[in-house]
Amino acid sequence: MAHNNSQNIAVSSFKITSHQKKNLPKGDFEPYITKEKCSDGLKRGILIKGVLRINPKKFTDAFISADYNERDILLEGVSSRNRALPGDVVAVELIPQSLTKVIHENNAEKNTSEILVNETNNVKRGKVVFIIEKKHPRVATGFIMNYRSNKFGFAYMSPVDSRLPRILIPLQQCPPLFLTRPQDFCKTLFVARIIEWEIDMGFAYGELMRSLGEAGNIEAETESIIAANAIDSSPFGEDIIACLPNGDSWSIKPEEFKKRKDLREECIFTIDPATARDLDDAVSCKKIGDDLFEVGVHIADVSFFIEEESKLDIAAKSRATSVYLCQKVIPMLPAVLCERLCSLNPGVDRLAYSVIWNMRSDGTVLTEWFGRSVIRSCVKLSYTHAQQLIETGTDSDLKKEEFPIVEGFSLEKVRDVIHCLFKISQNLRKRRFDSGALRIDQPKLSFNLDSETGLPNGCSVYEYKDSNRLIEEFMLLANMAVGRKIYAAHPDQAILRNHPAPHPIMLQEVQRICSAYSIFFDISDSSSISKSLTNLSQLESDSRMFIEAAVTMLCAKPFQNATYFCTGTVDDESLYRHYALNVPIYTHFTSPIRRYPDILVHRLLTAALDSTFKVKGRPKQLQAIADHCNERKWTAKKASEQSSDVFFAIYVKECGPFEEKGVVVAVLDKSIDVLCIRLGVVKRVYCDKLLLSGHKYEYNILKPKLTLFWKKNEDLPNGNIDEKLENLKKQFEAKWALQEKLANSPIIMEIPDDAIKQELEMFSPVEVILSVDPKFPTRIDVVLKNPFLVYAPELNL
């Protein structure tokens, strides 16, 4: 029985009798210390403050970051994290060190894998003694199951996120049919809230909030993502909409024109994704002398419409960012503002904030101007349109019918402006990278959706074109310029964006791995890393593609997230630096429709240009807003990635299984981690899920090896694709029956004489089969392809 409709469930408080508690799962946690003892322990250095990370591949292991130059602190076992949840800020007490094999895991959220390091290394172990701040929303999505035949008044939820505890749910909160037919709900997703977790309980107590629908259904899975990430997707209330003028009748008042530079006669246009409706940035360029150009970046003046501390401002601050899912956007601001009042649509007058430079074609900036303006975009171009114009050399090559109508200018004029911008952007980019900038690109999937069903019917890797780079360079230039301007004007209130240097221990680990396989990788600074990655892309070897992808992925792991901060709360100016861009000051100014920090920056810029305008908020207050924006930005990114995972799984389910090329990026005793090169995802492949005669692990600190032994008699005769897929289906069915038997086998097995050997080390190229896990419809299952078989089509990206 399918339960597809999301519905609310009445929640109520409940009490636990001693008889019930006696029959519920037991826990072994310690009471928290007092807040006063925690504060004192942190001051004296006895306790360490950190953000809890739990390894999704091994939920018993959790970590917090220690000092910058030290390894993470391991919290081994569920009891050591003492009921704290992922993202919580915790106080950790170190426990006596011991010599052991260390599994050093950093940033498990990024699909990272464990790296085995020297058995004689010391690892710091700790335990949570106090939760300083509960950052996790205490909301989980998952499946409800009966607990011991419902004898003790509870069901329990098994969360989709393995890092969360199981949650006891009072039976009276479950759907009535669950009591008699629990099997009907085995595929139904629910949302529950954790309300308490006692020290002697193995499960948390919770309340059921609502059902979402059947697992694998796009809408149900999307609602699950929204709920689990505490994203506000509710419609904007009438009181919030009332803060804005009418989108149909509003027009710029004559007195506002007098306060602004009138740029409506300039050739200004937007370049965005084809599906974009909230157009918040535009560009312009004109020649004003011999090798002298006036280049402009024009950003929607969102702050003009949002009064500080109004209900609209409070709502935008709370959401902090728009959330981009595969099939929809959850906006930070109401549609009337995003898509009408502020969107820089062609042919209409719009309020903007402009940064205008006089510069040479080589990117040398001579002067810069900041100010409020009025613009009228002449055309909305997609990145594809702009790319065509970049590649079009003559008027005769220009296929005008393929482009939107240009208001007030010819398409040839727009093409010439783009050529000019492109030439300058190339030089700006070269200058940046010559000065030590670094960019690590990871593949991003794009989906074609069926207009009727909403299901993905096509999948491709998003191609980053010259037109994307053109816009990127000028947005970066504007952000850097505005960052310098607001910091000069407000040294204690500026909202900037810093990017810390990568974790040195982890970076050294990457270098050590590369060195073991004779791969030169210089980690001296950002410029050295960038050059090393460029050199890998130029290797003349059959293994270039695999090595480049693997090292790029490994190199991304040590990097920390960029964050917003208020300058008045950071004394050391060296901490303002943006490592990847290799610039001392940077901010976000160019996307105020979808990022709240940009609105703050616009207000700071206004105050820098107009002495009568004052910025509200002391440094600590602004830092609190910055911290909130950092959290919501990270959550939005995670939700976007989870949405992509769901759509990809549904695509594989409908059109797969598929064969993909991969490369080994970690070798463990009974498993390997494989990076699927084109998809950019890392998946763990377990030996006990493969149809092997056996496997053998050879531990070596520098070059561990896992040898797989495949049965030769499993050869598949050549035949048509249906035969091959049928054989694949049988193989997948067989592997589940074999799994339990192989799981209990020793690491070194008795190998049949007819087995065929496959040796796997770091950077070994492999071929994998992608399918959907039969138990979890949105989870991709990856197994190694038997190297002696051919049985699945390649994913067409």
Q: Which residues are annotated as a binding site?
A: 272, 281
Residue 445 Cα to chain centre, angstroms:
13
Distance separating alpha carbons of residues 180 and 148, to the nearest angstrom: 14
Q: In what order do the strands lie in the sheet with 47-51?
A: 47-51, 89-99, 122-133, 73-76, 61-64, 53-54
Task: Write the CA distances from 243 to 239, 335, 597, integer angstroms.
Answer: 7, 13, 20
Q: Report the run of H or E that residue 483 belongs to, with start and end.
A: helix 466-489
β-pair type (261-262, 365-376): parallel
Task: Label each residue of 323-364 as H, E or C.
Answer: EECCCCEECCCCHHHHHHHCCCCCCCEEEEEEEEEEECCCCC
β-pair type (349-359, 292-300): antiparallel
Q: Are 285 and 363 in contact (CB under 8 A)?
A: no
Distance separating alpha carbons of residues 52 and 72, to the nearest angstrom: 11
Distance separating alpha carbons of residues 382 and 339, to the nearest angstrom: 16
| CA triple 605-610-616, angle to 5 deg | 65
Q: Report the run of H or E that residue 780 belongs to, with start and end.
A: strand 780-784
Amino acid at 424: I
Q: Which two tokens stand for residue 509?
A: 């680990």
Amino acid at 243: C
Question: Any idea of the CA torsion for 716, 682, 668, 706, to the nearest 10 degrees?
Answer: 30
Distance separating alpha carbons of residues 466 and 733, to the nearest angstrom: 46
- In the chain the first and final C-alpha atoms are separated, in Å, by 36
Annotated binding-site members for Mg(2+): 272, 281
793 prior amide bond cis, ω within 30: no
Q: Which two tokens stand for residue 357?
A: 């430079």
